[in-house]
Amino acid sequence: MPGVYARRLSVVAATAALAATSALFTAPNAQAAMPTPVSAATARTYLAQLTVGAEGSSNGYSRDKFPHWITQSGTCNTREVVLKRDGTNVQRNASCAAVSGSWYSPYDGATWSAASDVDIDHMVPLSEAWRSGASSWTTTQRRSFANDLTRPQLIAVTDNVNQSKGDRDPAEWMPPRSSYKCTYVRAWVHVKKQYNLSVDSAEKSALQSALNGC
C-alpha cells in the first residue's frame, strides 16, 4: 500500500539520518540470537585467504535453486525461527506464524511491531553466492546455505532496507546505520570463508577498508 510504503521509507530515511551523526554444510541449529561473527582481526585473516577473482555470471540463477524457507521443527520454518530468535516477546499462533512482538533492525535502527514489516536477510545474498561459487553446488548444499542458522547468515531487518540492499556486495551497499557496519563486514567475511566463496577486487577493497576501521 502506498501509504504504508511511504511511512516505512520515511522511518528508514529518518533513522539513516540519525545514524550518519565444523563442517561446511552442517545442518542448521537455532541459537538465541544471530551467531556472533568472528572478530575483526580474524575477519582480516579470513579475507586474506579468500580467492579473489572476477564475479561469475548470473546465468542459470534462480532463488528456487536455494530452497527456503525449510521446515525446522513442527510447523516452524526458518523464517519463523529467525523471527522468534531476533524478536522480543514474540507470540506465535498454532501455525508458528508470529502474530505479535517487536523487532529491532540493526541495519537502520528501526523497531517494528508487525512481522510483515520485517524481512529475513541473507547476509551474503543468494544471487551473490551463486556468482561467487554456489553455482557449482548441489541443491542440498544451497538449501543448507539458504537456511543456515549456525553462521551469521540470517538476520531480521526492516523489509525496505533489505530490498534496497538486493543482491549487492559491500562495495555497492552497506547498512545505513554506520555503527553496524563493522559487525556487517565481519559477518560477510565469516560466511564467505565458511562456504569458500570468492570475492571480487572491489568487494575485497571495501571489506578491507571497513575492517581497518573496526
Per-residue pLDDT tens digits of the chain, which is 214 residues long: 444 334 444 433 433 333 333 334 333 333 347 999 999 999 999 999 999 999 999 999 999 999 999 999 999 999 999 999 999 999 999 999 999 999 999 999 999 999 999 999 999 999 999 999 999 999 999 999 999 999 999 999 999 999 999 999 999 999 999 999 999 999 999 999 999 999 999 999 999 999 999 9
Q: How far apart are CA 12 and CA 166, in angstroms?
A: 16
In this prediction, residue 184 carries a pLDDT of: 98
Non-local (6+) Cβ contacts of 6 within 8 A are: none
Q: What is the CA radius of gyration of the chain?
A: 17
In this prediction, residue 201 carries a pLDDT of: 98
In this prediction, residue 17 carries a pLDDT of: 38
Of 109, 119, 115, whose CA–CA distance to 96 is shortest? 115
Non-local (6+) Cβ contacts of 14 within 8 A are: none
- Which class for 190: exposed (0-12), middle (13-18), buried (19 or more C-beta within 10 A)? buried
Element at 211 (helix H, strand E): helix 201-212
- Which class for 56: exposed (0-12), middle (13-18), buried (19 or more C-beta within 10 A)? middle
pTM of the model: 0.85
In this prediction, residue 33 carries a pLDDT of: 75
- What the block records as the C-alpha cell of 7 is 511511512
In this prediction, residue 151 carries a pLDDT of: 97
- The backbone torsions φ and ψ at residue 82, rounded to the nearest 5 degrees and listed phi first, read -70, -40
- What the block records as the C-alpha cell of 131 is 556468482
Three-class DSSP category at 104: strand
